[in-house]
């Protein structure tokens, strides 16, 4: 029994794949998207061909669902605190909560809410979005989940989740160092999202300019240093790997955060560069490049999304 908390791009795609494979999936959604799903079902315009789930189980009231075996937590980071409170009726003694947010803070926040023993940390690699209410669009064939237990062990419940995802045709890796994978992705996405959004430029021009390329490298290096200070084990150099990955992107590639800024949407800067700044201050690691990005982009988010500054002269968060 699976609940998908947040039926946007990530939740709609992966939840749709699970439902298509016959799993018992309920989507927790709201607004026009929920209404469309109730009326017409869920349509996924996947890269390998569209499919529909109709009828689809969808509700805005988790209490009507009850405890589940797997809670797939796929909301954006700025909606995470509210989602953790709303999903409490879904979490029972044997529920596994799989976090798939950007950044590195979601597993700790879920552990604080439900206990670390219930949390699986994960990373989603995919380009998906809501195209219209009730419709999910996949932009590229990449659709992968890497996840694991916080302590790196391979448990029967983690293996069962991996088997369910794999049976649904999802490229799945059960990692023995998921925190290393989470921080490696964070190194890349803090640079990709932060620098493209700050400059309002796609990735190609940034890589072609020596100063901008160095800024990308510096943001990754600072994030790597904070992770090392926190005790994270990196299986490979995330800075070299991140720059190599960036070079494989199309010249005009934009980060999702830049696209959010362009359409006037909410930004995930608190969970990305903001998290690096907060953790860096706590651990005594300087993060001036991330701090500059964070300070500039805070002005482009609603006040409710901003966390209190922990800079000099400011009250602690």
Residue ranges of domains in the chain: 2-176, 180-305
- What ranges in 6-155 are assigned the alpha helix state H? 9-20, 31-40, 80-86, 106-114
What pLDDT, on a 0 to 100 scale, did the predictor assign at position 299?
87
Q: Which residues contact 13 (CB under 8 A, 6 or more apart)?
A: 44, 46, 126, 128, 136, 138, 143
Break the chain down into helix, strand, coil percent, rounded to 5: 50, 20, 30
What does the pLDDT profile of the chain (317 residues) look like in tens digits? 999 999 999 999 999 999 999 999 999 999 999 999 999 999 999 999 999 999 999 999 999 999 999 999 999 999 999 999 999 999 999 999 999 999 999 999 999 999 999 999 999 999 898 999 999 999 889 899 999 999 999 999 999 999 999 999 999 999 999 999 999 999 999 999 999 999 999 999 999 999 999 999 999 999 999 999 999 999 999 999 999 999 998 899 989 899 899 989 999 999 999 999 999 999 999 999 999 999 999 988 765 555 555 554 333 33
Active site amino acids:
185
- What ranges in the chain are assigned the alpha helix state H? 9-20, 31-40, 80-86, 106-114, 156-167, 178-199, 203-208, 210-229, 238-247, 256-262, 273-283, 288-297
What pLDDT, on a 0 to 100 scale, did the predictor assign at position 130?
92
What pLDDT, on a 0 to 100 scale, did the predictor assign at position 317?
34
Burial class of residue 140 (count of CB atoms within 10 Å of its CB; 0-12, 13-18, 19+): exposed
Q: Which CATH class is domain 180-305?
A: mainly alpha
User: Cβ–Cβ contacts within 10 Å for residue 120, how many?
Assistant: 26
The CATH homologous superfamily of the domain defined by 2-176: NAD(P)-binding Rossmann-like Domain (3.40.50.720)
**Chain position carrying tokens 């419709």:** 135
Whole-model pTM: value is: 0.90
User: Cβ–Cβ contacts within 10 Å for residue 117, how many?
Assistant: 11
First to last CA, the chain: 38
Pairing of strands 70-73, 2-5: parallel
């Amino acid at each position: 029994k699976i609940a998908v908390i947040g039926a946007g791009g990530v939740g709609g795609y992966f939840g749709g794949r699970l439902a298509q494979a016959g799993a018992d999936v309920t989507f927790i959604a709201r607004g026009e998207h929920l209404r469309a799903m109730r009326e017409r079902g869920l349509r996924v315009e996947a890269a390998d061909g569209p499919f529909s789930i109709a009828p689809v189980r969808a509700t805005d009231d988790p209490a009507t669902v009850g405890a589940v075996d797997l809670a797939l937590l796929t909301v954006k980071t700025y909606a995470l605190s509210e989602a953790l409170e709303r999903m409490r009726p879904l979490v029972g003694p044997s529920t596994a909560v799989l976090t798939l947010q950007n950044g590195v803070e979601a597993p700790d926040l879920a552990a604080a809410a439900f206990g670390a023993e219930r949390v699986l940390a994960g990373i989603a690699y995919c380009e998906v979005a809501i195209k219209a209410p009730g419709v999910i669009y996949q932009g590229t064939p990449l659709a992968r989940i890497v996840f694991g237990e916080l302590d790196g062990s391979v448990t029967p419940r983690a293996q069962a989740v991996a088997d369910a995802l794999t049976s649904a045709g999802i490229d799945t890796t059960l990692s023995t160092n998921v925190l290393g994978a989470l921080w490696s992705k964070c190194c890349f996405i803090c640079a990709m999202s932060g620098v493209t959004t700050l400059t309002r430029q796609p990735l190609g021009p940034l890589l072609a300019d020596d100063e901008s390329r160095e800024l990308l490298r510096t943001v990754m290096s600072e994030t790597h240093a904070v992770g090392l200070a926190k005790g994270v084990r990196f299986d490979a150099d995330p800075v070299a790997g991140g720059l190599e990955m960036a070079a494989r992107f199309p010249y005009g590639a934009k980060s999702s955060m830049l696209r959010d800024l362009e359409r006037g949407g909410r930004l995930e800067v608190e969970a990305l560069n903001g998290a690096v700044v907060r953790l860096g201050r706590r651990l005594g690691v300087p993060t001036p490049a991330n701090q500059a990005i964070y300070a500039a982009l805070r002005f482009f988010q609603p006040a409710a999304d901003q966390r209190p500054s922990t800079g000099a002269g400011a009250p602690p968060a």
